[in-house]
Chain A
Amino acid sequence: MNRIDKLFDQKKKNVLNVYCTAGYPHLNSTIEVLTALQQNGADLIEIGMPYSDPLADGPVIQQSNMVALENGMSISILFQQLQSVRATIQVPIILMGYMNPIMQYGLEKFCAAAEAVGVDGIILPDLPMYEFETTYQQLFEKHGLKFIFLVTPETSEARIRKIDGLSSGFLYAVSSSSTTGNNKAISDQSGYFKKLQNMQLKNPILVGFGIKDRATFQSAAANTNGAIIGSAYIKALQNSIDIQATTKEFLNTLLS
């Protein structure tokens, strides 16, 4: 059974997915970050594959992408780093990124490599449903990779149902119309979260974008299965001299 499905079988509430950027803060800190996140309470880990033009991301994650690229990070290096990740990391791992670097790496080769190292799911915000259905769906399925789509407060109910049908693993509910790391109020969105909950969708729901602390996490998780935190964690890592200590403090404050 895929690790994501297994997780949601066992845990229905307050699931915490933490985003980190591969090769950030240092080229070789990826595994150290994953280990610290697992040890301190992350239920899932989303690894961002850095890109020169991350359209859906706000300034914090843009900056971490730039630093990671300057550090020399690439998809090939990431797969090398993840080669024996399953010896130490048991939580589900999701790769998040943009289409262009994967196209150049080769989509088939990418899916095969992801499966081989033990990746469980993929998030590609700039791969729309039409392209997914007509070209890519079978490839992800063949390699046992869950494909996680985004929905937003502007997404119509009919479209949410269609996206839910195509999504697997979970549904990524963007909290408000924004790029990542925004300051729009999560508490205003409880109606939208409740609507999603009442739709009785096939997939569990995790809320992302704008989750930055204990209060926003709880507010997002109250009517869904949990939440995704990214920019706030990257920000914490910006000035970190000890990744383990920073991660422990960050997650303790969030989950206490």
Chain B
Amino acid sequence: MMTTKKNNFAVDEHGYYGDFGGAFIPEMLYPNVKQLQEQYLQIMYDPEFQKEFQQLLADYVGRPTPLFLAERLSAKHGVKIYLKREDLCHTGAHKINNTVGQILLAQRLGKTRIIAETGAGQHGVATATVCALKGLECIVYMGEKDIERQAPNVARMKMLGATVVPAVSGSKTLKDATNEAIRDWINNPVDTHYIIGSVVGPHPYPDMVARFQSVISKEIKKQLLEKTGSELPTHVIACVGGGSNAAGAFYHFLDDLTVQLVAVEAAGCGIDSGMSAATTQLGKPGILHGSKSLLMQTEDGQVTEPHSISAGLDYPGIGPLHAHLFKSGRAVFMSATDEEALKAAFEISRTEGIIPALETAHAFHVLNEMKFKKDDVVVICLSGRGDKDLDTYMKYV
């Protein structure tokens, strides 16, 4: 069995990364969360579990995903830029790495009903997919506003047999979908497992989701070693909403301090526009969805409505691991506006023949703002493909 890694970035026994994390949950959720806290590592690193998990990652998800040298993009920036092709995962994004893991965990916990929240719909689709695979009931909470702007993914979830429930409270986006999913879990504690899609929520979710997503950086290391003779790049870049693809892409590099970790948040219409989702720039320490982290809020502590063109980054918080990486300086946090992300999406489409998800496009933008040395090796986590965003993209063709 693998034990907790002893570094400054691993979660402690109470679920804290430095000042952030914990499990701020009402008593109604205690038995479920406690059970997860006590059993997740034991279940995850059980040889039988690992065998089934690895097999599904290989044969169902399509792992390992390629690490692709983007030559035209590399030439433009004068460095080697590799793309970790999570967009080639089954269902089109990295989200399924986590849902495959959590559905196996849910089965071992004897749960028969699965709930999930979703923003862009990628996590909802990934959850609906594994529920179909395992024959479990699936209910996905999705903000009413996101249901409108991510219609193809809503259709996919329905096709896969999931029930999509609109979240109509508050800002009608990811935050509210998460509230509704948590309320569902409070009301159905015995038969239900809640598959959280990002590195947010009460302990152990941030750590559990990061571990399931850590396959991304594990593969990057192996693939880079084969391609360049060194397993360490100089930079790893990933977009951050809650932060699951970034957590996965950073995970095995956290202790390699020569590797510059770059997290890219959604600036929306601009950091100071009042319509942004750049949590580390605009947030203060606060508690939302069961953990202490950085949070966009009013002076009175009311959570504010973020804005991003990308539904997957439209979240007022950030996972506690990322809040810690920000505060400790281990990762650099940058941002891209709606417009910059759109521009980057078109550029990648036309230089590399890859249409990225709007979320992912934010990560590509910062290449323009960074200074590289000629021998640098940059890895960008290409977290998802852009089919779901074609409606938005078509407006700008």
Contact = CB atoms under 8 A, between A and B. Distances in A.
Given A52-B170, A155-B31, A182-B187, A103 B301 contact: yes
Contacts of A58: 183
Contacts of A128: 23-25, 27, 30
A85 B286 CA distance: 30
A104 B186 contact: no
Given A51-B302, A53-B303, A100 B31 contact: no
A38 interface: no
Given A126-B290, A179-B186, A100 B26 contact: no
A83 interface: no
Interface in A149-204: 149-152, 154-156, 159, 163, 174, 177-179, 182
A74 B298 CA distance: 11
A131 interface: yes
Given A75-B300, A103-B301, A104-B297, A155 B30 contact: yes
B186 A103 contact: no
B189 A126 contact: no
Contact of A152 (B28, B175, B303): B28
Interface of B: 14, 22-28, 30-31, 169-170, 175, 179, 182-183, 186-190, 284-290, 295, 297, 299-303
A149 B170 contact: no
A225 interface: no
Contact of A127 (B24, B28, B186, B190): B24
A41 interface: no
Contacts of B175: 53
Nearest to B300: A74
B27 A174 contact: yes
Instruction: Give chain A's interface residue range (CB within 8 Å of chain B).
Output: 35 or more
Enumerate the 3 nearest inter-chain pairs by beta-carbon distance, A residue then B residue, closest first: A104-B301, A101-B301, A125-B26
Contacts of B170: 52-53, 66
Contact of A103 (B189, B287, B290): B287
A139 to B, nearest CB: 17
B301 A126 contact: no
Contacts of A74: 300
Contacts of B182: 55
B27 A125 contact: yes
A62 interface: yes
Contact of B287 (A100, A105, A152): A100
A245 interface: no
A8 B75 CA distance: 77
Nearest to A51: B302
B187 A178 contact: yes
B179 A154 contact: no
A177 B24 CA distance: 17
A56 to B, nearest CB: 4
A102 interface: yes
Contacts of A156: 31
Contacts of B187: 177-179, 182
A22 B78 CA distance: 60
Nearest to B284: A104
B286 A154 contact: no
A27 to B, nearest CB: 14
Contacts of B26: 55-56, 125-126, 150
A58 B169 CA distance: 11
B286 A104 contact: yes
B27 A151 contact: yes
Contacts of A66: 169-170
A62 B179 CA distance: 11
A160 to B, nearest CB: 10
Nearest to A57: B183
A76 B26 CA distance: 25
Contacts of B186: 55-56, 177-179
Interface string A81-107: 000000000000000001111111100
A152 B186 CA distance: 11
Nearest to B14: A130
B354 to A, nearest CB: 37
B169 A62 contact: yes
A159 B35 CA distance: 14
Nearest to A184: B187
A7 interface: no
Given A53-B170, A128-B23, A182-B187, A101 B28 contact: no
B11 to A, nearest CB: 14
B27 A152 contact: yes
Given A55-B179, A100-B287, A179-B183, A105 B27 contact: no
A131 B24 contact: yes
Contacts of B31: 154-156
B297 A100 contact: yes
A113 interface: no
Given A150-B26, A179-B186, A104 B179 contact: no
B274 to A, nearest CB: 17
A60 interface: no
Interface string A123-149: 001111011000000000000000001
A255 interface: no
Q: Which of B23, B183, B299: most chain A Cβ within 10 A? A: B183
Contacts of B297: 100, 104
Contacts of B289: 53, 55
Contact of A100 (B23, B27, B179, B303): B303
Contacts of B28: 56, 150, 152, 154, 174, 177-179
Contacts of B302: 51-52, 69, 101
